Amino acid sequence: MASLYQLNNAYAQLQQMIEEGQEGLEDTLASITDAVEEKLEAYAMVIKNIESDVEGIKSEEKRLADRRRVMENGITRMKQAIAETLGNSGQDKVKTEKFTFSWRKSSAVHIHDEKLIPKEYIKVTTTISRQELAKRLKNETIPGAELIENRSLSIR
């Protein structure tokens, strides 16, 4: 894909390995013996190049998902038109050279009042609000949890 930064052979190879999901990335990283500053700068350039590609891929995924939704909606409208045409024909089954159109029975559960449903049929999911928990852990001790400080890498 497109590159924001031009890389020398070793770092270009790294980028290619990551893009293609090749094995041996750690070995290749360990084999580079440049000065720390040069190495870190080149690593950051590889990361920025790949991040740029990732953003392009995300944009394309969104575009394709939107296109898929449009097509699925078109399919739904076509099926509704087929159902209306079959219904208006007064026939339960129409057979053509390539397809057979007919009605089949199915069932679906319709809930009139959730409060009347026995508890054995109700699923409840419990989640922990880590954000709220973190706020409280800054000022007090809560059994079963603790606030741990981490370090994260910053590349600017």
Residues 119-145 pLDDT 10s: 999 999 999 999 999 999 999 999 999
Looking at residue 30, its pLDDT comes to: 86
Neighbour tally for 96: CB within 10 Å: 7
Q: Is there a domain that residue 139 lies in? A: no
Residues 68-102 pLDDT 10s: 999 999 999 999 999 999 999 999 999 999 999 99
- Interior angle at CA 74, CA 72 and CA 75, nearest 5: 65
Average pLDDT, the chain: 91
Q: Which residues pair with 142 in a beta bridge?
A: 145
Q: Is there a domain that residue 146 lies in? A: no
Model confidence at 154, in pLDDT bands (50, 70, 90)? confident
Q: Which percentage of the chain shows pLDDT scores above 90?
A: 72
Range from 6-10, 21-25, 51-55 that averages highest in pLDDT: 51-55
Residues 43-56 pLDDT 10s: 999 999 999 999 99
Q: Is there a domain that residue 51 lies in? A: yes
Looking at residue 2, its pLDDT comes to: 55
Tally the domains of the chain. 1
Question: What does the block give as tokens for 151?
Answer: 């370090």
Looking at residue 47, its pLDDT comes to: 93
Q: Is there a domain that residue 14 lies in? A: yes
In this prediction, residues 144-155 reach a mean pLDDT of 90
Q: Which amino acid is at 80?
A: Q
> With contact defined as beta carbons under 8 Å apart, do 7 and 15 qualify?
yes
Q: Is there a domain that residue 2 lies in? A: no
| Residue 137 per-residue DSSP state | H
Report how far residue 119's alpha carbon sits from residue 156's, in angstroms, rounded to the nearest whole number: 54
Q: Is there a domain that residue 48 lies in? A: yes
Range of the domain at 86: 9-108
